[in-house]
Amino acid sequence: MKQWRPTSAEVWQGRDDSGEAANALRLFQTITCSTTFCPEQLPGDIALLGFACDEGVRRNNGRTGAAQAPAILRRALANLASHAEHTRLADCGDIFVEQDNLEQAQQALREAVLACQRAGKRTLVLGGGHETALGHGLGVLDAFPQEKVGIINLDAHLDLRHAPQATSGTPFRQLAHYCETQQRDFRYACCGLSMAANTQALLDEAACRHVTIVEDLRCLSAPTEAIAQLEQFMADLDRIYLTIDLDVLPAWEMPAVSAPAALGVPCAILLQLLAAICRSGKLQAVDLVEFNPSHDRDGQGARVAARIAWQVARWWG
């Protein structure tokens, strides 16, 4: 596998409570870690991948640092309790960027995701900037060419930018173009969108592409209506690729992103949205992106992100 490396054994460490009871276990004690990229040989049905890249953020004039996120998020996950659902997790290592060759790294992620999906795994990817979504999304689309694959983006931003090269702001426009070349419908919903953070040009692009938009204000004032809107979007789909841009959370909960949200959707409400998606029976792939450890405060953001990833794995039925 190109631009791949195994996860360091030093990452998966934590408190050992096994002397208390045989089932007093944490994730670092139950996760399987691969020293080679062979997803078909790994147990469980959730492949954990890192995408150690923030070149797209740099190109988008954002705050770099997300390339360090996969290792930090694994450390935050390591010490969380391992329940029965978490034994399905297998760590398949990291895809990394060489110098500034983002496109090559995205292609490597695409191939890694496709290999995992063809091996019968679902993919949980820890980014990286939101450029992660292009490689992850293409891998899922490639794995299910005859099925209706929908994208749900929990994000303050549409990320439908037009730019001369790929950035963290272009992945969904690029995925839309790919769907066009394949004569597939582009099914995309952005939930948690901040109208204050998206220009009219981006909203016009979303309207042209029939994007489902659920505003942050709707999530805050009427979460059950927001869930119903997502359920309506999911009803006609065969598979769902869920991407969670952590800047959808308010800055006081998630300071460690390139673009902290002035308002945002609090984690407690976000988890309600996630529950509906995870329990739909259609969720095939998930990523968490834009976590930037260089701007974290006392590990607060890492703990919030890890809890979200932990909850996804627990609910992923």
Question: How does pLDDT run across 83-134, given as a tens digit for each residue?
Answer: 999 999 999 999 999 989 999 999 999 999 999 999 999 999 999 999 999 9
On whether 157 is known to bind a ligand per the annotation, the reply is yes
C-alpha dihedral, 227 to 230 to 231 to 234, nearest 10°:
-160
100 is in an annotated binding site: no
Q: Which is nearest to 245 in space by CA: 111, 151, 106, 105?
A: 151
Q: What span, in angstroms and rounded, lies between the C-alpha atoms of 99 and 85?
A: 38
Burial class (CB in 10 A: 0-12, 13-18, 19+), 137: buried
Give me the pLDDT at residue 22, please: 93
- Here the CATH number for the domain that contains residue 80 is 3.40.800.10
The pLDDT tens digits of the residues spanning 136-153 come to 999 999 999 999 999 999
pLDDT for 1 beyond 90: no
Distance CA 261, CA 193 (A): 11
23-35 average pLDDT score: 97
Structure tokens at 218: 């709707």
Asked whether residue 2 carries a pLDDT value surpassing 90, the answer given is: no
Q: How far is residue 244's CA from residue 256's CA, in Å, rounded to a whole number?
A: 14
Question: Is 236 annotated as belonging to a binding site?
Answer: no
Q: In the prediction, which pLDDT does 134 show?
A: 98
Give the domain extent around 228: 4-315
Q: Is 296 annotated as a binding residue?
A: no
Cα–Cα nearest to 244, from 133, 88, 85: 133
Residue 245, marked binder: yes
Per-chain mean pLDDT for the chain: 97
- 130 annotated as ligand-binding: yes
Count structural domains, the chain. Answer: 1
Q: What is the 8-class DSSP label of residue 261?
A: B
